[in-house]
Amino acid sequence: MTSISRPILSIIVPCYNEEAVLSVSVHELLSQLEILIVAHKVDAESYLCLTDDGSSDTTWEIIKQLSKNNSRVKGIHLSANFGHQNALLAGLFSEKNHADCLITIDADLQDDVTVIEQMIDKFAAGNKIVYGVRSNREKDTFLKRSSAQWYYKLLIRMGIKTIYNHADFRLASRQVIQNLERFNEVNLFLRGIFPLMGFKSDIVYYSRADRKLGNTKYPFRKMMSFAWQGITSFNTSLLRLVTITGVVMFILSMLTALWVLIAYISGNAVQGWASLLLITSLFSGINMISLGLIGEYVGKIFLEVKQRPRFIIEEETERKQQG
């Protein structure tokens, strides 16, 4: 059994159409891994696992080649594009029994690979989860920065525990991943699940760089859908909001009724159709919103009860045993 002070580390890298940046990133990750191995911080069996999320370019060919040439590189090929979160899950679940701790990092290396060492140190000190947190956001556009900050605050308000400015750059122990596998939900929002799981955890800070090569795989539309996913997949606080709005509207309509009654009794019943129309439209608007929100959750239940697999592994490369 490997001691906790020299764990086998598996670095999981989701890759979707990353042919432009992949070789550079892998080179950088491997040299970082080498430094850690030489310093006896991690076991010599430590390796990279590149998960190809059904890319349509030559990403999988590159991964196969890298894996052939280097015993520290393993490749997994998903049969279709299952999305970033599911690609992470595929890597984590397939590697959880081969490593003592697992780190997930994006293929574009916007996250600082040199803090991996601090993550390992914190793991050695007994932490089961170590979150990578950005200390700067200057590299993001003003819109992305302010919307992200607003969003984190909203999540906290809604009772969804997340780590401020933490994305998916994190270390987790094998035990944590084994337990993560018991969360069967299809709409998984990893950033919310990890803090919910408990376990002793810590944070390392780093500054986020620009994407080195290639384009973002998160266009605005995908980003919005991911943000919405985070809010609606987690708990039912939005539904409660609908109920509260309903109650408030009910009270207001009672007051309106009272007002109409008084006007009628006092003989001033010249209520024009305008006010009527106003109220009717207001209420039908609120009804629509409420129904829409309920539909949102019904849709989610629909997806969850089907229990479809979250990813399908089509092919894997063998990792040559060292020594």
Contacting positions for ligand UDP (CB under 6 A): 14-16, 18, 53, 81, 83-84, 87, 106-108, 110, 211, 216-218
Residue 152 or 169 having the CB closest to Mg ion: 169
Question: Residue 132 and residue 105: Cα distance in Å, rounded?
Answer: 10
**Among ligand UDP, Mg ion, none, what does residue 217 contact (CB within 5–8 Å per kind)?**
ligand UDP
Shortest separation between residue 118's beta carbon and ligand UDP, angstroms: 21
Cβ atoms within 10 Å, residue 158: 15
Q: Any residues with CB less than 8 A from the CB of 246 and at least 6 apart, and which? A: 286, 290
Question: Residue 10 and residue 27: Cα distance in Å, rounded?
Answer: 15
Shortest separation between residue 46's beta carbon and ligand UDP, angstroms: 20
Shortest separation between residue 10's beta carbon and Mg ion, angstroms: 21
Shortest separation between residue 172's beta carbon and Mg ion, angstroms: 20
Shortest separation between residue 135's beta carbon and Mg ion, angstroms: 17
In degrees rounded to 5, what are phi and psi of residue 202?
-145, 175
Q: Any residues with CB less than 8 A from the CB of 22 and at least 6 apart, and which? A: 15, 50, 59, 62, 63, 66, 107
Q: Which one, of 126, 135, 198, 130, lies nearest residue 161 by Cα? A: 198
**Among Mg ion, ligand UDP, none, what does residue 15 contact (CB within 5–8 Å per kind)?**
ligand UDP
Residue 59 or 118 having the CB closest to ligand UDP: 59
Q: Which one, of 126, 244, 223, 100, lies nearest residue 167 by Cα? A: 223
Question: In this structure, what token pair is assigned to residue 226?
Answer: 């991911």
**Among Mg ion, ligand UDP, none, what does residue 84 contact (CB within 5–8 Å per kind)?**
ligand UDP
Residue 36 or 163 having the CB closest to Mg ion: 163
Residue 2 or 216 having the CB closest to ligand UDP: 216
Residue 107 or 177 having the CB closest to ligand UDP: 107
Shortest separation between residue 49's beta carbon and Mg ion, angstroms: 18
**Among ligand UDP, Mg ion, none, what does residue 95 contact (CB within 5–8 Å per kind)?**
none
**Among ligand UDP, Mg ion, none, what does residue 107 contact (CB within 5–8 Å per kind)?**
ligand UDP
Contact (Cβ atoms closer than 8 angstroms) between residue 152 and residue 164: yes
Contact (Cβ atoms closer than 8 angstroms) between residue 204 and residue 119: yes
